[in-house]
Chain A
Amino acid sequence: MDLVLTQIFNGLQYGLLIFLAASGLTLVLGIMGVINLSHGSFYMLGAYLSLTLTSLTGDIFLSLALGIPIAFLFGAAIEWLFIRHLYARDHLQQVLLTFGLILVFNELQRMIWGTFPHSVPIPSYLSGSVKIFGLMSYPVYRIAVAGLCILLALAMMFVIQRTKIGRMIRAGESNREMVEVLGIDTRLLFRFVFAAGVSLAAAGGIIAAPIESVYPGIGESVLITSLVVVVIGGIGSVRGAFVGALLIGLADAFGKVYLPQFASVVVYALMAAVLVTRPGGLFGRA
């Protein structure tokens, strides 16, 4: 019982982190029609920003406050330099260009931060564990991470549901051509969506750093898992990405305990099962 509960918590917390990365990926795909394989690199960027900023400022939450704007500007620059050339291209070329970006980002990471794994300290006021339901003890920082993810998710939901730019995003998600015809400046909208997606992924990387440690290639497993989440949830659906991310988180957590050799196989098998039964994803328009 203890183990099951711990794994439920671990799974939900991992799922929430993945959701931060997957939400940007699904929006970029749904609204701009771009498959961005370099999205995992932004998670990596966050992890390394966390490493550098925390050693400078001494606190993970100051790193988060500084890191999100840095990631936003970085994302806007990448969109302007590379991604905007892909809107009129086919999937094959999007896959290629963003694959090239991964090579570049990985090498830049190696040049700046080197290849050794690093760890980021958990702030002292959040170290230790608490008893939950009187049954199990669970690290406080992990609970804080889950709480932060939920806050960020709520903030995103607010922007999408209640603001003008959110209305444009929703319109873009349901009919991309129509938004362009309606006279909305799609160049700015796309740049904002892309940069916001980058910020969310980086935020995930920043707060996960004290749990996971920081190492080269940290973004790639996140990318693949996020892509699986997007497929399960349905392209462009933030709600789908949320449900998909939690499903994947739980499948991964329980897979690791009960089928240790096949944990990642469980994740892919789940995706194959969803696709065969609902080819457009759980919340997608098939």
Chain B
Amino acid sequence: MLQRPRPFIVILLIALLVAALLVPFVGSSYAIKFTTRVLVLAIFVISLDFLIGITGLVSFGHAMFFGLGAYSLYFISPQAEAANAIIAFPAAMLAAGAAAAIIGAFCVLTRGFYFIMVTLAFGQMLFSLFYTSRIAGGSDGAYINVKPEVTLFGVTILDFENRFAFYYFCLGALVAVYLLMLVLARTPFGRVLQAIRWNEERVGALGFNTYAHKLLSFVFAGAVAGFAGVLYATIDGYVAPDLFGWRQSGIAIMMVVLGGAGTLFGPILGALLYSAIEEVLKTGSWVGPIANHWSLGLGLILIAAVLAWPRGIAGLFETRARRARPERDQPSGDPQEERPQRGKALAVEGLTRAFGGLVAVNGVSLKLAPNLVHGIIGPNGAGKTTFVNLLSGASKPTAGRIRLDDEEIAGRTPYAIARRGLGRSYQRTNIFLPFTVRENCLIAAHARHPSPFRLRLGKFAREEAKEIAHALAATGLSTRAEAVASHLSHGEQRQLEIAMLLASGAKLLILDEPLGGMGAEETSRVIALLRKLSVNHTVVLIEHDMDAIFAAADTLTVLVEGKLLAHGKPDDIRRDRAVREAYLGRWGQEIVR
């Protein structure tokens, strides 16, 4: 998860800032204009990194919001007077943000390659709209005759015709945008976005509306890109449809990746480096006649950079392993000091799911009482995992009802079901691998208050820290809290799954083969944990390890070929003739023993 920049990076950024502050004193007017352009592009590109590197949305149409910001200034500016930046700039951001809300509502429905393509298509749509129509001069572009100024109560504070004033305004804006993004990425909202980048399905299963989170991220990034666009239009006082085009979007992606996606400071370096390379290659006195073919050199350098530094310039500064931070004082998470809480009851009626002709779950009716451990067993292909997917909303039932306490949840989205207190773990370990154990639990704990508008820990900080400490202590992961999840052993990863469910505050836990791949000692520890969890939760356990499930469960449900074969106390199931014949045949002797 995004950390504060390391001291080395901070020093580097401050050095760059000091250099930038000095440019107007030592540089030519050309150098000032060049640096202004880099500053504005850096703002644009940071906003794109917020989408690509933080949220994981690779937008190939981000320039459309850049262009909209620029054109907004053109439309707002009066013919022969200066527009007031105090009104014009927010209006441009509003226009870009509103467009991002409408366009994003469609784009965010898609993922991966399709998202890249849809954003590209919308960008081209706007491009051709401005290019072929006569709006604002069509393909010729249009001039903004007088650059805007900042006027307050009739007094002009900053006049952007003055290139020094404008330069320092842009520099201040870049610093502000960078700090804002950095802070935002570390709020609960920003953390959830980072989690979405790595494992969107899991974020949804924890109870977050990932669509709303991604859309908000898209709108925010769009508004900031609009702000950059307004500044860009001010540099030359000229707007053209190329600002929307896919080349502009492509170059922005280029700068993000060249600098290092997901670091927020990387794109600043990327914008600087890209512009510098372009400038050097274009300058005839430095490179001779090649200057006529500068884009050839640029293309080759980019190809080489992608092949040699897949993680960008920022990747070169990265240390291999994350330093373990000293354990902070954590509130005690002893579960004994709390009163037992009631888990949620679950009742299904006639639950059916058909895939074409195959009926994976066939008319299952079942009642699971609160605060017990319920085992579900059945041979391979019995429909256990499909059954769980129906409960958690990952799959929609063909027919039937599911009630969580008194509420009907069948057919709802996974996040809506998770918010009602149903949490699940997965057969294949499904966690946020690049994050530490504590960060994994932190995301889960945020699910207790899953609003996408959550920007502060606020009054929940204490409660969440306590739940995390409790979850880590209960699963025996306290000493591993700062380890990166991908470095954990398989057994530890399975326990982290359970810890995340505990931290999320779910009242009904569905565990899909939590013991898979565990040794005997770990298994007996997890069984003891499951027994203890039933004090405060209802536990549904799917497991292949027969000894374990008979030891852990209060009731057992047997599924065979999608149908409910038997349901009862473990001892009754053991003696059930039908179960022994239909299912336990192989193990029957061993279990009855």
Q: Which residues of A contact B (CB under 8 A)?
A: 29, 35, 37, 82, 85, 89, 91-93, 95-97, 99-104, 106-108, 110-111, 224, 227-228, 230-231, 235, 260-265, 268-269, 271-272, 275-276, 279-280
Q: Does B307 contact A (CB under 8 A)?
A: yes
For the complex, what is the distance from the CA of A20 to the CA of B30, rounded to whole Å? 47
Residues 320-355 of B, flagged 1 when their CB comes within 8 A of A and 0 if not, give: 000000000000000000000000000000000000
Q: Count residues of B near A (Cβ-Cβ below 8 Å).
A: 38
Which A residues are CB-close (under 8 A) to B558?
Answer: none
Instruction: Please state if A92 and B52 are interface contacts (CB–CB under 8 Å).
Output: yes
Contact of A99 among B118, B133, B254, B307 (CB under 8 A): B254
For the complex, what is the distance from the CA of A85 to the CA of B118, rounded to whole Å? 26
What 5 pairs across the A-B complex have the smallest Cβ distances? A103-B299, A100-B302, A107-B296, A104-B299, A264-B128
Most buried by A among B110, B121, B295, B300: B121
Query: With A110-B293, A227-B120, A276-B109 as given contacts, are A268 and B307 in contact (CB-CB < 8 Å)?
Result: no
Instruction: Please state if A99 and B124 are interface contacts (CB–CB under 8 Å).
Output: no
For the complex, what is the distance from the CA of A82 to the CA of B293, rounded to whole Å? 21
For the complex, what is the distance from the CA of A224 to the CA of B245, rounded to whole Å? 11
Which B residues are CB-close (under 8 A) to A230?
Answer: 117
Instruction: Please state if A275 and B109 are interface contacts (CB–CB under 8 Å).
Output: yes
Instruction: Please state if A235 and B109 are interface contacts (CB–CB under 8 Å).
Output: no
Contact of A101 among B116, B120, B246, B303 (CB under 8 A): B303
Residues 114-134 of B, flagged 1 when their CB comes within 8 A of A and 0 if not, give: 101110111011001100110
Which A residues are CB-close (under 8 A) to B125?
Answer: 264-265, 268-269
Which A residues are CB-close (under 8 A) to B112?
Answer: 91
Instruction: Please state if A275 and B118 are interface contacts (CB–CB under 8 Å).
Output: yes
Of residues 52 to 76 in B, which have CB atoms within 8 Å of A's CB atoms?
A: 52, 58, 60
A150 → chain B closest CB, angstroms: 27
Which B residues are CB-close (under 8 A) to A227?
Answer: 117, 120-121
For the complex, what is the distance from the CA of A82 to the CA of B124, rounded to whole Å? 27
Q: Please, which residue of chain B has its CB at the minimum distance from the CB of A106? A: B295
Instruction: Please state if A100 and B246 are interface contacts (CB–CB under 8 Å).
Output: no
B307 → chain A closest CB, angstroms: 6
Q: Does B310 contact A (CB under 8 A)?
A: yes
Q: Please, which residue of chain A has its CB at the minimum distance from the CB of B133? A: A261
Of residues 532 to 581 in B, which have CB atoms within 8 Å of A's CB atoms?
A: none
For the complex, what is the distance from the CA of A107 to the CA of B302, rounded to whole Å? 14
Q: Which residues of B contact A (CB under 8 A)?
A: 52, 58, 60, 106, 109-110, 112-114, 116-118, 120-122, 124-125, 128-129, 132-133, 246, 250, 253-254, 257, 261, 293, 295-296, 298-300, 302-303, 306-307, 310
Instruction: Please state if B253 and A95 are interface contacts (CB–CB under 8 Å).
Output: yes
Which A residues are CB-close (under 8 A) to B303?
Answer: 82, 97, 100-101, 104
Q: Please, which residue of chain A has its CB at the minimum distance from the CB of B294? A: A107
Which A residues are CB-close (under 8 A) to B133?
Answer: 261
Contact of B113 among A29, A100, A261 (CB under 8 A): A29
Instruction: Please state if A101 and B60 are interface contacts (CB–CB under 8 Å).
Output: no
Query: With A35-B116, A107-B293, A275-B109 as given contacts, are A265 and B129 in contact (CB-CB < 8 Å)?
Result: yes
For the complex, what is the distance from the CA of A103 to the CA of B60, rounded to whole Å? 17
Q: Please, which residue of chain B has its CB at the minimum distance from the CB of A286? A: B114
Which A residues are CB-close (under 8 A) to B128?
Answer: 263-265
Instruction: Please state if B58 and A92 are interface contacts (CB–CB under 8 Å).
Output: yes
Query: With A29-B113, A93-B310, A96-B253 as given contacts, are A276 and B106 in contact (CB-CB < 8 Å)?
Result: yes
Instruction: Please state if B52 and A107 are interface contacts (CB–CB under 8 Å).
Output: no
Instruction: Please state if B293 and A91 are interface contacts (CB–CB under 8 Å).
Output: no
Query: With A106-B295, A264-B128 as given contacts, are A228 and B121 in contact (CB-CB < 8 Å)?
Result: yes
Instruction: Please state if B110 and A91 are interface contacts (CB–CB under 8 Å).
Output: no
For the complex, what is the distance from the CA of A261 to the CA of B303, rounded to whole Å? 37
Sample of 18 further A-B pairs with CB below 8 A, known A103-B295, A279-B109: A82-B303, A92-B261, A93-B310, A95-B250, A99-B302, A100-B254, A104-B296, A104-B300, A104-B303, A107-B296, A107-B299, A224-B120, A224-B246, A227-B117, A262-B129, A265-B125, A276-B109, A280-B114
Which A residues are CB-close (under 8 A) to B246?
Answer: 224
Which A residues are CB-close (under 8 A) to B121?
Answer: 224, 227-228, 231, 268, 271-272
A222 → chain B closest CB, angstroms: 13
Which B residues are CB-close (under 8 A) to A82?
Answer: 303
A201 → chain B closest CB, angstroms: 18
A24 → chain B closest CB, angstroms: 16
For the complex, what is the distance from the CA of A257 to the CA of B168, rounded to whole Å? 50
Which A residues are CB-close (under 8 A) to B307?
Answer: 85, 97
B153 → chain A closest CB, angstroms: 43
Instruction: Please state if A92 and B257 are interface contacts (CB–CB under 8 Å).
Output: yes
Query: With A99-B250, A104-B303 as given contacts, are A35 and B113 in contact (CB-CB < 8 Å)?
Result: yes
For the complex, what is the distance from the CA of A217 to the CA of B541, rounded to whole Å? 61
Which B residues are CB-close (under 8 A) to A276?
Answer: 106, 109
Contact of B114 among A85, A89, A269, A279 (CB under 8 A): A279
Instruction: Please state if B257 and A108 are interface contacts (CB–CB under 8 Å).
Output: no
Instruction: Please state if A95 and B60 are interface contacts (CB–CB under 8 Å).
Output: yes
Which A residues are CB-close (under 8 A) to B310?
Answer: 89, 93
For the complex, what is the distance from the CA of A85 to the CA of B307, rounded to whole Å? 8
Which A residues are CB-close (under 8 A) to B298?
Answer: 100, 103
A135 → chain B closest CB, angstroms: 30
A266 → chain B closest CB, angstroms: 10
Instruction: Please state if B253 and A103 are interface contacts (CB–CB under 8 Å).
Output: no
For the complex, what is the distance from the CA of A97 to the CA of B253, rounded to whole Å? 11
Most buried by B among A29, A100, A262, A263: A100
Instruction: Please state if A100 and B293 are interface contacts (CB–CB under 8 Å).
Output: no
Which A residues are CB-close (under 8 A) to B295?
Answer: 103-104, 106-107
A284 → chain B closest CB, angstroms: 9
Which A residues are CB-close (under 8 A) to B118?
Answer: 231, 271-272, 275
Query: With A262-B129, A265-B129 as given contacts, are A231 and B114 in contact (CB-CB < 8 Å)?
Result: yes
For the complex, what is the distance from the CA of A251 to the CA of B116, rounded to whole Å? 22
Which A residues are CB-close (under 8 A) to B293?
Answer: 107, 110-111
Q: Please, which residue of chain A has its CB at the minimum distance from the CB of B117? A: A231
Q: Return 8 A-B CB contacts under 8 Å, by A number.
A: A91-B112, A92-B261, A96-B302, A96-B306, A100-B306, A103-B296, A104-B303, A227-B120
B10 → chain A closest CB, angstroms: 27
For the complex, what is the distance from the CA of A280 to the CA of B114, rounded to whole Å? 8
For the complex, what is the distance from the CA of A103 to the CA of B106, rounded to whole Å? 31
For the complex, what is the distance from the CA of A280 to the CA of B133, rounded to whole Å? 32
B107 → chain A closest CB, angstroms: 9
Which B residues are CB-close (under 8 A) to A268?
Answer: 121-122, 124-125
B111 → chain A closest CB, angstroms: 8
For the complex, what is the distance from the CA of A280 to the CA of B109, rounded to whole Å? 11
Instruction: Please state if A272 and B257 are interface contacts (CB–CB under 8 Å).
Output: no
For the complex, what is the distance from the CA of A89 to the CA of B116, rounded to whole Å? 16
Q: Please, which residue of chain A has its CB at the minimum distance from the CB of B125? A: A268
Query: With A103-B295, A224-B120, A263-B132 as given contacts, are A275 and B110 in contact (CB-CB < 8 Å)?
Result: yes
For the complex, what is the distance from the CA of A106 to the CA of B293, rounded to whole Å? 10
For the complex, what is the distance from the CA of A102 to the CA of B124, rounded to whole Å? 17
B323 → chain A closest CB, angstroms: 27
Instruction: Please state if B257 and A275 are interface contacts (CB–CB under 8 Å).
Output: no
Instruction: Please state if A101 and B299 are interface contacts (CB–CB under 8 Å).
Output: yes
For the complex, what is the distance from the CA of A35 to the CA of B250, rounded to whole Å? 13
Contact of A272 among B106, B132, B302 (CB under 8 A): B106
Most buried by B among A35, A231, A235, A269: A231
Query: With A35-B116, A107-B293, A231-B114 as given contacts, are A100 and B132 in contact (CB-CB < 8 Å)?
Result: no
Instruction: Please state if A95 and B132 are interface contacts (CB–CB under 8 Å).
Output: no
Which B residues are CB-close (under 8 A) to A269?
Answer: 125
Q: Please, which residue of chain B has its CB at the minimum distance from the CB of A261? A: B133
Instruction: Please state if B257 and A93 are interface contacts (CB–CB under 8 Å).
Output: yes
For the complex, what is the distance from the CA of A279 to the CA of B106, rounded to whole Å? 11
For the complex, what is the distance from the CA of A224 to the CA of B124, rounded to whole Å? 8
For the complex, what is the distance from the CA of A19 to the CA of B261, rounded to whole Å? 35
